[in-house]
Structure 1
Amino acid sequence: MNQLADLRKSYERAELNEDASHADPLKQFEQWLGEAISAQVPEPNAMTLATVGANLRPSTRVVLIKGFDARGIVWYTNYASQKGMELAGNPFAALQFHWVELERVVRIEGLVEKVSDAESDAYFHSRPLDSRIGAWASPQSQVISGRGVLVANAAKYGAQFLLNPPRPPHWGGYRLIPDSWQFWQGRKSRLHDRLRYSLLPHQDRGEPAWLRERLAP
């Protein structure tokens, strides 16, 4: 493993400056996500979710973004999973996208809330049947004796619900409401571009305002 110290890459694909970036971080994110999708990078919708447990130890896992708008970033999961239990105790979290091929990283922090039942229902029923059965079959984050447990559960719930499984009460969506964004663009000589957007107090019209600052890489 000594060769790890010798791994090097020169980042020279693009740049990120204040004049060319959007004043609204959501628009900047929409542009970069669109470019990642257009570039056909592997799983451009994959993001790392970091939460903190009652023991103050952080944990991460990869989830998939399923929507975003002015209200925040949305994903779906099992509420009884480790991340669900940690969010119940500490509703603040962080997200990170890493589009390696574009030499870009986006970091997002904020408060997390559950989406409405109507939103969770609508997304659940848009999923493939095997995914809907899987939401019932997997006691996510719990210890099981083997894969046979999952197979047996899938058969059980498949027979019970046939083609129309309802959304499990333990499954649904979360929305992270950003109060901080960071956009990182790799640059030559490790002099990377890094812009941070911090949420300022709301204006009279109730619209959020953002302070955009350059951070040293």
Structure 2
Amino acid sequence: MNIADLRKSYEKAELSEDASHADPLQQFDQWLQQAIAAQVPEPNAMTLATVGSDLRPSTRIVLIKGYDERGIVWYTNYHSRKGHELAGNPYAALQFHWVELERVVRIEGRVAFTSAEESDAYFHSRPLDSRIGAWASPQSEVIEGRSVLVANAAKFGAQFLLKPPRPPHWGGYRLVPDNWQFWQGRKSRLHDRLRYRLQDGAWVRERLAP
């Protein structure tokens, strides 16, 4: 099959100004809860895009772990590539793609660390092997083989037993949105696309051509 011939007609739903929330956070909450209820695979998975000092963008999948009026939260290794890039350029973008619902949410804004208390609370809620893994993996660094991770996990498991502390290089980030986009697939490629942008402390909702 020629990949250029792969096509899909989007016909599941619509997104109108009248039926959408004036507050993008409420709209996001509604769509996320619908994705969870529909049992789409990993509805909490989101693409995180950052830009390095060389101006080259990079993306990876992370998992949303919280959201409220303060922003969108995820947790990771601060020494990873994304951590280094965010240290140099604190602006980033997130994207959710719920294929089964024919929906995309894009979020842009400035990123900051969560508090140490938030990071501690989430870290200690994780399964033990995940907490050990945070110590065992020098994320984004070159390693000789998987045996390095296995050896590190054994070492830190023996050192910390059942109570590993949160590593100082591991914790949360919060993206504070200043731009949201909600995309609903429609027939004939005439998709619905609503943007919310922050202007003078208030959200302006407007329709974009698809």
Q: TM-score scaled by structure 2?
A: 0.99
**What does the per-residue CA deviation read over 1:26-61, in whole Å, with 9 as the maximum and x for residues that have no partner?**
000000000000000000000000000000000000
Q: Which residue pairs with 1:28 in the alignment?
A: 27
Aligned pairs for 1:106-185 within 5 A? 106-185=105-184
Q: Which amino acid aligns with 1:102?
A: L
- Equivalence for 2:74: 75
Task: Give 2:208's aligned residue.
Answer: 215
Gaps of 5+ in 2: none
**Superposition deviation, residue 201 in structure 1:** 1.1
| Identity score, percent | 82
Ranges of 4+ aligned residues in structure 1 off by more than 3 Å: none
1:131-173 alpha-carbon deviations (Å, 9 max, x no partner): 0000000000000000000000000000000000000000000
**Structure 1 regions of 5+ residues with no counterpart?**
203-208
Q: Secondary structure at the match of 1:26?
A: helix
Secondary structure of the structure 1 residue equivalent to 2:124: helix
Q: CA deviation at 1:127?
A: 0.1
* Residue 65 of structure 1, CA deviation: 0.1
**Residue of structure 1 equivalent to 2:186:** 187
1:3 positional shift? 1.1
TM-score by length of 1: 0.96
**Whole-angstrom CA distance in 2 between matches of 1:57 and 1:42:** 30
Q: CA RMSD in A?
A: 0.5
1:111, distance to aligned residue in structure 2 (A): 0.1
Q: Which residue of 2 aligns with 1:46?
A: 45
Q: Distance in 2 between matches of 1:89 and 1:127?
A: 29
Three-state SS of the structure 1 residue aligned to 2:173 is strand
